[in-house]
Amino acid sequence: MNIALTVLIILLAVVLFTAAFVLMRTMRFSQPLPTAEASEKLAVDEEAAAAHLGEALRCKTISFSEKQPASPESLLSLHEILEKNYPEVHKQLTLRKINEYSLLYTWQGSNPELDPVLLMAHQDVVPADPETLQMWEHPPFSGEIAEGYIWGRGALDIKNQLTAILESVENLLQSGFRPQRTVYLAFGHDEEIGGPQGAKVIARHLEEQGVRLAAVLDEGMPILQGSLPGVEIPVALVSNCEKGYLTLEFSTELEAGHASTPPKQTAIGILAQALARLEAHPMPGHPEKMSPLFQAIGGAAPLSTQMAFANLWLFKRAIHKKLSVQPTTSAAIRTTTAVTIFQGGVKDNILPRQAHAAANFRLLPGDSIRDVCDHVRKVMADERVQFKFMEGGAWEASPVSPTDNPAFKAMEETLHQIFGGIPVAPFMMLGATDSRHYAAIAENIYRFSPMMLQADDIKRVHGLNERISVEQLGNMVRFFTLLIQRWDEAEL
Ligand SMILES: [Zn+2]
């Protein structure tokens, strides 16, 4: 046999073997889609829940900024409404007000051996942009119920969850349910400005009491349709981790001089060039972080996506390139860099003595604050550029909570019971939630809002015409009612 033919046969064998291997891995990768059918709807008084949410939306608990948190009057009026609408909760649970306005309810369980669970939401909302007020179909603090929706700032973020949790506990109390496992309800009053006086202090209080939490559920993504490329069915995006946060301040200082005899580079030029290098060299991407998501979505994802994620050994570079194009998918696989502030110069004919800038980083689990600083130093590679932490907080990415445990399984089963056989996929929150403050006392921390939305609805969060349908609010109440019971029985 001549050599060329032998080589050809060997090559062909390698190609065939590789193709078979890729296919086999693809077939093994995806879990079959859940086939569960939604069970008969749990009876919930949707009209009452909607009316209660409407009342809560009328309280202007607006966190404008750290210096201008939600007003005491607005928070106290919300507390009054909660007391009026949830009499059994206020009769049978212990309420502790933390820093006056944050609420921590304790529903004492009968078995002190069991670790408690915690359900969370927050009382504050972001402002409605005064310039777009006339573009709201129903005013943002009207709490109007119209066309099957409850309208207002906070309807999706996150007075809906606050209402649904209290509604479900009130219903359970009325039905005579008593938990074995203690249930905490924690509603901070300053999440939209980082939760320094609310969730952070509640978490410290629980830690001081020696509390260890079996599971935590905070606000998060909903069940979304049309949000993942090529995936048409709705997917429940349950977050089991969230990104960290860091802002670095940069400065360059040079001697002043006259603009008629400038050096080769001014402070502005030096800093601008260093920042351009920073933008050109993002932190490395990790497409494998999205693997569990696509594994859970299984056969509902396009075959090419399944094949690529099942065979990262072969397609990692290609996937990395593809995911890096869109800002949202790029943010899902790497620590992002956003240069957000640049200042320098005072007059057109004076050389600037200083230039200042800031860049905001959102850290992927696995990248530490130290890794980011090392990367920045290496990429900028200019001793004339100094940097330091900006005041106001930096935190590491959260630990990654497991998804193969009874706490997650209980959420999955509850979702199937209400919404039928939708995939429940682990997801990384790109933004921050109050739940990060509980990392020291809980391993199983999840973020999720149990309502079905269209991809377009996400724009309403912090945007115009925020609203939730009466039906989906009802589903949220159903979810918490069932989850509290499941978590009570599960071996957490
Ligand atoms: Zn929120």
Q: Which amino acid is at 355?
A: A
Q: How far apart are CA 230 and CA 453, in angstroms?
A: 17
DSSP state of 436: G
Cα–Cα distance measured from residue 179 to residue 108, given in angstroms and rounded to the nearest whole number: 7
The alpha carbon of 191 and the centre of ligand 1 are apart by a number of angstroms equal to 7
Q: Do residues 109 and 183 make contact, with C-beta atoms less than 8 angstroms apart? A: yes
Contact yes or no for 299/421 (Cβ under 8 A): no
CA of 219 to the centre of ligand 1 (A): 6
SS3 at position 179: coil
Nearest to 125 by CA among 201, 65, 180, 61: 61
Q: Using alpha carbons only, what angle is made at residue 429 by residues 427 and 432, rounded to the nearest 5 degrees?
A: 160
Tens-digit pLDDT string for the chain (492 aa): 688 888 898 889 888 888 888 888 888 887 777 777 778 889 999 999 999 999 999 999 999 998 999 999 999 999 999 999 999 999 999 999 999 999 999 999 999 999 999 999 999 999 999 999 999 999 999 999 999 999 999 999 999 999 999 999 999 999 999 999 999 999 999 999 988 999 999 999 999 999 999 999 999 999 999 888 889 999 999 999 999 999 999 999 998 778 898 999 999 999 999 999 999 999 999 999 999 999 999 888 888 888 988 899 989 999 999 989 988 889 999 999 999 999 999 999 999 999 999 999 999 999 999 999 999 999 999 999 999 999 877 999 999 999 999 999 999 999 999 999 899 999 999 989 999 999 999 999 999 999 999 888 999 999 999 999 999 999 999 999 999 999 999 999
Sign of CA dihedral 487, 488, 491, 492: positive
Ligand 1: centre distance to CA 383 (Å) = 40
Catalytically annotated residue among 167, 190, 191, 219: 191
Residue 89 to residue 109: CA distance in whole angstroms = 14
In one-letter notation, the amino acid at residue 19 is A
Identify the structural domains of the chain with CATH numbers, from first to last.
46-241+398-489 (3.40.630.10), 244-389 (3.30.70.360)
Six-digit token string for 283: 């932190």
Q: How far is the CA of 431 from the centre of ligand 1 (A)?
A: 10
Q: Do 107 and 95 meet the contact criterion of CB atoms below 8 Å apart?
A: no
- Report angle CA 414, 291, 459 to the nearest 5 degrees: 65
Q: Judge whether 466 counts as a catalytic residue.
A: no
Q: Are 306 and 294 in contact (CB under 8 A)?
A: yes
pTM for the structure as a whole:
0.92
- Ligand 1 center to 167 CA (angstroms): 19
pLDDT digit string, tens, across residues 420-468: 989 999 999 998 999 999 999 999 999 999 999 988 899 999 999 999 9
User: 14 by DSSP, 3-state: which?
Assistant: helix
Cα–Cα distance for residue pair 187/162, rounded to 1 Å: 7
pLDDT in tens, 351-389: 999 999 999 999 999 999 999 999 999 999 999 999 999
Residue 197 CA to ligand 1 centre (angstroms): 16
Distance 433 CA to ligand 1 centre (A): 7
What CA–CA distance (Å, rounded) separates 188 from 131? Answer: 28
**Angstrom distance (rounded) from CA 288 to CA 292:** 8
158 C-alpha vs ligand 1 centroid, how far in Å? 5
Query: Is 157 among the catalytic positions?
Result: no
From CA 421, how far away is CA 33, in angstroms rounded? 7
Residue 292 CA to residue 286 CA, distance in Å, equals 13
Look at the block and give the residue holding tokens 């997917």: 235
Dihedral class, residue 408 (left if φ above 0, else alpha if ψ from -120 to 50, else beta): alpha
- CB-based contacts of 185: which residues, under 8 Å, 6+ apart? 93, 103, 104, 105, 107, 118, 119, 120, 165, 166, 169
The residue annotated as part of the active site, out of 46, 55, 124, 170, is 124
